Amino acid sequence: MPVGRERGFGLVLQAMAFAASKHRRQRRKDAEASPYINHPIALAEVLWHEGGVRDPVTIAAALLHDTIEDTETTPEELSGAFGSSVASVVEEVTDVKWLTRRTRKELQVARAGRASVRAKQVKLADKICNLRDILASPPEGWTREQQREYFDWAKRVVDEVRGANAKLERRFDQLYRERP
């Protein structure tokens, strides 16, 4: 369901504040250990500026995309605060925690094609941001082989979601060509 412009701004700001609070003690794995919240904000920017996405539910879900997976946040908490549309997109992009890393990654490939268009766009933005981060400042201790593996896995996910946002898909493909 589309959200009106006024309420859209409010929703996005509320999501930003909520995510900033939930991620406040987390750092990214880059050499500078930059604040975690920079990552969800980067996704929102990619969606808006590069993907032309104007749907506040998608932008809010991007800001919140790692809260269930990486912080003490429940789906019920999200639907209470932001409504079920936002919460369900975040759930769609959340990996199942109790599985091994390898199984989680395979499952993400398998589930990607069945995701909603909103969730597919969030996935695209996430992969774009992660490739950029690896190219600019790889996670501490990652070998070139690990970087390549990430690029290839990200491409498998993106190949499953094609058709959701042509601009973002092109942007991803450009970045993939810079594979380490």
Q: Is 133 a residue that touches Zn ion (CB under 5 A)?
A: no
In the chain, how long is the greatest CA-to-CA distance? 47
At its nearest, how many Å lie between Zn ion and the CB of residue 51? 15
Instruction: Tell me which residues are annotated as active site.
Output: 69-70
Instruction: Report in angstroms how near the CB of residue 163 gets to Zn ion at its nearest.
Output: 21
Is 126 near Zn ion (CB under 5 A)? Answer: yes
How far apart (Å, rounded) are the C-alpha atoms in residues 116 and 30? 31
Residue of this chain nearest to Zn ion (CB atom)? 126
The answer to whether residue 92 forms part of the interface with Zn ion (CB under 5 A) is no
Interface stretch with Zn ion, choices 107-115, 118-126, 140-148, 160-168 (CB under 5 A): 118-126
Shortest spacing between CB 3 and Zn ion, in angstroms: 23
DSSP 164: S
Which positions from 41 to 80 touch Zn ion by CB under 5 A, shown as an x/- string? ----------------------------------------
Cβ contact 143:180 at 8 Å: no
Q: Where along the sequence are the contacts to Zn ion (CB under 5 A)?
A: 126
